[in-house]
Amino acid sequence: MVEWLTRTLLIAAGAVTSWFMARDAPNFSVIQGVVAMLLIAFTVAMLAFWPVGWAAWLKRSGSSRR
């Protein structure tokens, strides 16, 4: 499970990195790793703060769970 998650993140990071620099650049893998870490941080932040936003939306709509 961790393998396919890591592979997916690295593929996405490679695609984003290739928008800004050539794949045959000597530091492509370093930049790809940095972009992958940023994607991981963004994913963790979204997962961490999503319930707060969801709860606020539920309270506004008046259909909160009891």
Q: Is residue 31 part of a domain?
A: yes
Q: Is residue 28 part of a domain?
A: yes
| Rounded average pLDDT over 43-57 | 79
CA distances from 16 to 13, 19, 29, 49 (A): 5, 5, 12, 24
32: containing domain = 2-44
Q: What percent of the chain has pLDDT over 90?
A: 44
SS3 50: helix
Band the pLDDT of 63: cuts 50, 70, 90. Answer: low
| Total structural domains within the chain | 1
Q: Look at the block and give the residue holding tokens 């998650």.
A: 5
Closest CA to 14 of 34, 32, 1: 32
Are 48 and 38 contacting, i.e. CB atoms less than 8 angstroms apart? Answer: no
Tokens of 26: 């000597």
In tens, the pLDDT along 23-46 reads 899 999 999 999 999 999 998 888
Q: Is residue 18 part of a domain?
A: yes
Q: Is residue 53 part of a domain?
A: no
Q: Is residue 12 part of a domain?
A: yes
